[in-house]
């Protein structure tokens, strides 16, 4: 738990553990079940906490620097405009605003980076523009946004104002079919990557929805188990291999080239807490069998990248964001 982490590296040595931000908290410095992470145009990290039904006040978006300085948060548990309950994803649009998917209200809400509510779109249904539990979300280079419409087993593309443009997919396990898709990523050329959650695979599409390839993680690895969030950048595909508690790194052809398992040390926020509660730290250190366990990922749910090679992973059950540096 409190063991110093001296720059451990990933399985294949392509990444080095860099830092951790986090602490279980219902507000302020900390997260509660973080499920999505996004870098704002101001360079601040935004982290969406899903929390649990007994902590509605903990459902929020936290803003902090990538060094772990707390800046602020916005929340509002509920179904009224500007509120959200089951947050699944956050992403910044080319307009500099934050878009948030809520799979309880089946809609996308738009906020300024500071949390001022600007509007929303979407409603429950299976028609064009309607959604049934939207999950992952990513903006394309042309400014449109791709959304995994999870229980409709499809991908929808919207204009930034929420106008539906195109959708593809249906329930199934064949090419172009989905079983509860979750994560979405778009590369610089506009190709779309979808984590096809219950089919345990990633599917790649042309920007117009034409199927290109599928990656099951067995090329160079032992396969995915319920892949969730994903990101694409610097020639690599990053897959949160949720039920395997790891992040798999693939090359552009789907070959698994590295694995991140989690190397968390003690965050600054955690250090402050433990310094104020030495009795708890003493008990944690006595439970030696748990020290290694608590450094590892536990249900990593989302991943995002910075331009300079930092990889931010929402380590959901451990209430933190682990950061790796590409070497």
Partner 1 sequence: MLVDSQRALMAHLLRRAGFGATPPELDTYCAWGYEETVEWLLHPKDQAALEEDIIERYYIDWKESRNIEGALTETVYRMNCNAGVRPLQEKIALFWHGVFATGLAKVLHEKTMLNQIDMFRGYGLGSFEELLRRLARDPAMIFWLDNNFNHQDAINENWGRELLELFSMGVGMDGQPNYTEDDVQEAARAFTGWTIDDDNVASIPYGKTPWLFRYDAEDHDAGTKTFLGETGNFDGDDIIEIICRQPSTARFISRHLYNFFVADDVQVPAWQNTPPPDPDAITALEAEYFRSGYDIRSMLRALFNSVFFKSEHARFARVKSPAEVVVGTLHLVGDFKFPRVGFMDTALECRYMNQDLLNPPSVEGWHTGKEWIDSGSMVERINFVADNLGDATHPGVRAIVTTLADRNPDAPGIVDGCLDLLGNVMLREDNRNALVVQAEAAMNEGAGVEEVVLNALRMIGSTREYQFA
Interacting residue ranges for partner 1, rule: CB under 8 A = 1, 22-25, 33, 35, 50-54, 85-86, 104, 180, 197-198, 226, 243, 264, 266-267, 269-270, 273-274, 277, 280, 283-284, 286-287, 289-290, 293-294, 298-299, 316-320
Distances in whole angstroms, Cα of residue 240 to Cα of each of 27, 206, 212, 325:
26, 22, 21, 16
Mention every residue, 6+ apart, whose C-beta is less than 8 A from residue 126: 132, 152
**Cβ–Cβ < 8 Å for 187, 232:** yes
CA distance 185 to 147: 10
- Tokens 């007994």 found at: 54
Minimum CB distance to partner 1, residue 282 (Å): 9
Minimum CB distance to partner 1, residue 35 (Å): 7
CA distance 97 to 82: 14
Nearer to partner 1, 16 or 198 (CB): 198
**Cβ–Cβ < 8 Å for 181, 174:** no
Nearer to partner 1, 89 or 305 (CB): 89
Minimum CB distance to partner 1, residue 290 (Å): 4
Nearer to partner 1, 32 or 144 (CB): 32
- Long-range contacts made by residues 178-181, C-beta under 8 angstroms, separation at least 24? 178/153, 178/154, 178/203, 179/153, 180/135, 180/150, 180/151, 180/153, 181/135, 181/136, 181/148, 181/149, 181/150, 181/153, 181/154, 181/155
- What are residue 105's DSSP bridge partners? none
Minimum CB distance to partner 1, residue 78 (Å): 11
User: With 0-12 CB in 10 A as exposed, 13-18 as middle and 19+ as buried, what is 214?
Assistant: middle
* Residues constituting the chain: 327
Minimum CB distance to partner 1, residue 201 (Å): 15
Minimum CB distance to partner 1, residue 316 (Å): 6
**Cβ–Cβ < 8 Å for 98, 105:** no
**Cβ–Cβ < 8 Å for 112, 98:** yes
Nearer to partner 1, 120 or 133 (CB): 133
Nearer to partner 1, 73 or 200 (CB): 200
Minimum CB distance to partner 1, residue 285 (Å): 10
Nearer to partner 1, 14 or 24 (CB): 24
Minimum CB distance to partner 1, residue 300 (Å): 12
Nearer to partner 1, 158 or 273 (CB): 273
CA distance 256 to 249: 6
Nearer to partner 1, 101 or 186 (CB): 101
Mention every residue, 6+ apart, whose C-beta is less than 8 A from residue 140: 146, 157, 186, 190, 192, 207
């Amino acid at each position: 738990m409190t063991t110093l982490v001296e720059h451990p590296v990933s399985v294949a040595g392509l990444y080095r553990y860099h830092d951790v931000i986090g602490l279980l908290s219902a507000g302020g410095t900390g997260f509660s079940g973080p499920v999505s992470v996004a870098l704002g145009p101001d360079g601040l990290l935004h982290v969406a906490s899903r929390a649990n039904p007994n902590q509605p006040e903990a459902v929020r978006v936290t803003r902090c620097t990538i060094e772990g300085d707390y800046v602020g948060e916005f929340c509002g548990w509920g179904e009224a405009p500007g509120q959200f309950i089951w947050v699944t994803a956050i992403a910044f649009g080319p307009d500099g605003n934050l878009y948030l998917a809520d799979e309880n209200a089946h809609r996308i809400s738009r906020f300024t980076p500071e949390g001022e509510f600007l509007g929303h779109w979407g409603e429950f249904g299976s028609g064009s523009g309607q959604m049934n539990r939207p999950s992952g979300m990513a903006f394309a280079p042309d400014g449109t946004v791709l959304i995994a419409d999870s229980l409709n087993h499809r991908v929808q593309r919207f204009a930034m104002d929420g106008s539906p443009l195109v959708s593809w997919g249906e329930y199934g396990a064949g090419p172009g079919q989905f079983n509860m898709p979750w994560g979405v990523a778009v590369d610089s050329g506009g190709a779309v990557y979808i984590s096809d959650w219950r089919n345990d695979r990633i599917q790649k599409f042309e920007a117009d929805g034409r199927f290109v390839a599928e990656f099951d993680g067995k090329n160079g690895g032992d396969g995915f188990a319920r892949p969730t969030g994903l990101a694409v950048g610097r020639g690599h595909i990053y897959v949160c291999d949720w039920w395997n508690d790891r992040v798999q790194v693939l090359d552009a052809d789907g070959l698994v080239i590295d694995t991140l398992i989690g190397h968390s040390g003690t965050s600054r926020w955690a250090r402050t807490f433990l310094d104020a509660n030495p009795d708890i730290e003493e008990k944690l250190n006595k439970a030696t069998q748990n020290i290694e366990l608590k450094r590892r990922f536990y249900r990593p749910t989302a991943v995002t990248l910075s331009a300079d090679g930092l990889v931010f992973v929402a380590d959901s059950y451990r209430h933190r964001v682990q950061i790796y540096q590409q070497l």
